[in-house]
Amino acid sequence: MNTELIKKNSQYKSILTVLNGNDWLLFMATFVRRINPVTIIFWLYLGSLLVAFLISIFAFNLMLLNSRIWIIGIIGGLLLSLLVTPILHEFIHSFFYKLLGAKKVVFKWSKRLLRFNIYSSDFVLSKKNYYVISLVAFLLFSVTPFTLSFFFNNVLFLLLQSLSIFHSFYALKDLAVCSYLYKHHNSYLHIGQDERAVFYKNIE
């Protein structure tokens, strides 16, 4: 089922938006700034991460650490957020896609977005399911490292804290989609292998 067939299917006539591959940056820039419960929770969480990190620097006397430990910790978290957790993040998405009925899931690297994307031409995802999938990935790779960091000292603390912060920025695409879907009741999403995303509202 490609995007053209979806638009012709009577069940999916109420098309909300069609995004081509070149449209994602503008889409993300627009909807991560929209004020709604989804974005408010995200930005409050990210703000609390930064505040907690700054407080921890003084509470745990991290200023006294050798600069090499700081570099290893911060750069290590950055590298993990660029090279490891993006793959795991998209694997979580693809796992749920398959679990919910997708027959084929394709991974592709986006040079524009500097991230992996996954596509499934035979699969349409509901708003509720997209929220759940995005939340699970965010909890695993942002909230969990932040929580675990307080059980470690020095390098591991800095590494997990930086991983949590950097991965939150990686999740901005999920945030933008969730922000967009928030305003549309009973909305759905299809991202095909032609790299186009179709948002539509089901006709009841």
Partners of residue 119 on adjacent β-strands: 106
**DSSP character at residue 122:** T
- Residues 69 and 75: beta-carbon distance below 8 Å: no
- pTM for the structure as a whole: 0.87
pLDDT of the chain, 204 residues: tens digit per residue: 555 555 555 555 577 787 777 888 899 999 999 999 999 999 999 999 999 999 999 998 888 889 999 999 999 999 999 989 999 999 999 999 989 888 888 887 777 666 777 877 667 888 999 999 999 999 999 999 999 999 998 999 999 999 999 999 999 999 999 999 998 878 888 777 666 777 877 644
The residue range of the domain holding 52 is: 3-201
- In the chain, the amino acid numbered 39 is T
In the chain, the number of structural domains is 1
- Distance, in Å, from the CA atom of 176 to the CA atom of 4, rounded to the nearest integer, reads 24
Cα torsion at 37, 39, 40, 42 (round to 10°)? 120
Residue among 102, 95, 99, 107 nearest 137 (CA)? 95
Residue among 161, 130, 129 nearest 146 (CA)? 161
- Residues 120 and 97: beta-carbon distance below 8 Å: yes
What backbone phi and psi angles, to 5 degrees, belong to 191?
-120, 105
Q: What are the C-alpha distances in Å from 171 to residues 4, 59, 92, 146? A: 28, 29, 13, 15
Give long-range contacts, CB 8 A cutoff, 24+ apart: 25-32. Answer: 25/112, 25/113, 27/176, 27/180, 28/113, 28/172, 28/173, 28/176, 30/176, 31/175, 31/176, 31/177, 31/179, 31/180, 32/172, 32/175, 32/176, 32/179
